[in-house]
Chain A
């Protein structure tokens, strides 16, 4: 028994050390954002005399909020569309068993296996010819297309477990397929919908490569492009730059922290497979 307890203490030590190591860069980032210009070039984790001046500098900067506005628009639209389309498509494949349902499933699943970097060049040209450069749709469309692979995988998996008897009862009561979908099936999908929503939100909020080449107009740029914009102006003022970085990171971290219990629960509950 004693031996067993020692192993557990050891496990806590190892896990705590790894967790600390994993949090260190984030702590360092927040710490730098509170430093004054004198101590910001000091090679230590915690320097004394914290100041809020950096945040005052940064927040006084006009044209800061539109990055957040753009990202909110793009991310929320992407999440909404991915959920809606994945539910529709999952319904067609899993419940309606349309002709070619396996084919449709694997085609859209293939989106999971396409690296975006390999699509950047032609995608930019396609978006240009559609007039979607510097347009929210120019990001929302591709993000939704890419995310639909994961969305469909999760949602179709959850729908496969839905008991056919309940559907039969709804149909006997005269419900149309769309009514059955929305009033009988969708309410049971909440855990899976949340998994997809969190994942897609983090993806759309943090995506950089496509945003870089699609949003060339400063007014349309999204949050991941901010570090690039502020790196130059704040070169000699790292405190201010790290205040920007911290502010950028707060939103997705808070979103994840708030929803993580349901996110993990959703992953745990469903056997997500294709």
Chain B
């Protein structure tokens, strides 16, 4: 273990410094999770431990939709955001000389806007008859074929996922830009000398060098997708006919609208277990090396 100049006593007394963080963590994370587990084992208003809520979930069609949609969100948003973000960042860092910072700033701006604002703006964009998208269809002379994206069970989830992708692209671009900027020039020069250029350079040199950025964006994206709620709540309230429901919105519906906190707790456990799986996979793959930004240097 590395020596510190502060003397041995601080190894115990130093816990005082970690105290505030640990207390907050215990109070607002550990304690609620424990309470959540306990609550999920009671049936609403009935005494005695039971697996009732978990058994009920198996037959709950809406829960099935919510789970399926959450997984769809998890995979689609993460993959699409990473792909576009990486592509734009590579272009930005290797092909753009002037205005790089301006592009990065402008692309990041949607990240600063409250999701509830974004939800209403996009509801308007998607709206039939007066929305912006309808205007485009009208301009192209195909107004009669305008799809009501938020009103159809087939398209609604994808339409909302697009909104999430739109908001988060700038964040992904920024993170990849940081990662790419931190690749040492010698590596890129060596690759050029060896004739590794174009797509092969991106695939065999740049992408592996920002591996830790891939990993952290994967987990941040997954967690962000799993806690999705505001866009769905304001754009569709989970409809039409529950078709856009995700675990977050279903927790709100069962717990706060239908006042069945115990069932909502059980759904929450499923959500937390999903996050645990994501985190576990990440930990296995990276062996604990979680990095944001210039993670390729040590």
Contacts and interface: CB of A to CB of B under 8 A. Distances in A.
B277 to A, nearest CB: 10
A95 interface: yes
A224 B17 CA distance: 34
Contact of B21 (A86, A116, A245): A86
Contacts of B114: 205-206, 208, 223-224, 227, 248-249, 252
Interface string B1-31: 1101110001110111111111011011101
Interface in A6-47: 7-8, 11-12, 14-15, 18-19, 22-26, 28-29, 32, 41-45
B112 A249 contact: yes
Given A42-B130, A92-B15, A272 B113 contact: no
A22 B106 contact: yes
A113 B88 contact: no
Nearest to B129: A43
B86 interface: no
Q: Of residues B120, B125, B130, B278, which shows the largest number of chain A Cβ atoms within 10 Å of its Cβ?
A: B120
A115 interface: yes
B22 A121 contact: no
Given A25-B121, A114-B275, A120-B252, A252 B11 contact: no
Instruction: Please classify the interface of chain B as helix (H, G, I), strand (E, B), loop, or mixed, using the class held by over half of its residues.
Output: helix
B290 A273 contact: yes
B260 to A, nearest CB: 10
B109 interface: yes
B1 A43 contact: no
B226 A117 contact: yes
A256 interface: yes
Interface in A163-193: 164, 167-168, 171, 177, 180
Contact of A272 (B4, B5, B132, B291): B291
Given A117-B247, A168-B5, A22 B166 contact: yes
Contact of B96 (A11, A91, A121, A267): A11
Contact of A113 (B104, B106, B223): B223
A2 interface: no
A119 B175 CA distance: 27
Contacts, number: 338
Given A32-B124, A264-B174, A272 B293 contact: yes
Interface stretch (B41-49, B203-211, B264-272): B264-272
A116 B230 CA distance: 12
B216 to A, nearest CB: 9
Contact of A271 (B108, B255, B297): B297
Interface string A95-110: 1111100001011111
A144 interface: yes
B122 A96 contact: no
Nearest to A102: B288
A213 B257 CA distance: 11
A135 interface: no
B275 A18 contact: no
A113 B219 contact: yes
B229 to A, nearest CB: 5
A64 interface: no
Contact of B4 (A95, A110, A213, A227): A95
Contacts of B59: none
Contacts of A144: 24
A152 B272 contact: no
Given A22-B169, A96-B14, A115-B271, A228 B227 contact: no
11 contacts: A45-B135, A88-B21, A106-B288, A117-B251, A144-B24, A208-B115, A224-B116, A227-B117, A249-B114, A252-B113, A256-B111
Interface of B: 1-2, 4-6, 10-12, 14-22, 24-25, 27-29, 31-33, 35-36, 39, 88, 91-92, 95-97, 101, 103-122, 124-125, 129-132, 134-135, 138, 166, 169-170, 174-175, 178, 181-182, 212, 219-220, 223, 226-230, 234, 247-248, 251-252, 255-256, 261, 264-265, 268-269, 271-272, 275-276, 278-279, 282, 288-295, 297-298
* Top 3 A-B pairs, shortest CB-CB distance: A43-B135, A117-B248, A11-B95
Given A86-B21, A117-B227, A267-B178, 9 more contacts: A45-B135, A85-B20, A108-B21, A118-B268, A121-B265, A171-B6, A227-B120, A255-B112, A268-B293
Interface of A: 7-8, 11-12, 14-15, 18-19, 22-26, 28-29, 32, 41-45, 84-86, 88-89, 91-93, 95-99, 104, 106-123, 125-126, 141-142, 144-146, 148, 150, 152-154, 164, 167-168, 171, 177, 180, 202, 205-206, 208-209, 213, 223-228, 231, 238, 241-242, 245, 248-249, 252-253, 255-257, 260-261, 264, 267-274
